[in-house]
Amino acid sequence: MDLHWEGEEEDARAARRAAAEREALRARTSGEPLAVGNEFSEVRVSRVQTRNGSRLLIESIRSGQWVALCPLELEALTWQNTATFSAMVGHPFGPLLEDPEPEDEA
Res 99: pLDDT: 81
Instruction: Give me the amino acid identity at 70.
Output: C
- Residue 54 bridge partners (DSSP): 49
Phi, psi of 29 (to 5 degrees): -70, 140
Max CA distance (Å), the chain: 52
Question: Which pLDDT score is estimated for 11?
Answer: 87
The reported pLDDT for the residue numbered 43 is: 97
The DSSP letter of residue 39 is S
Pick out the chain residues at pLDDT < 70.
104-106
**Beta strand ranges found along 1-106 (DSSP E):** 29-37, 42-50, 53-60, 66-69
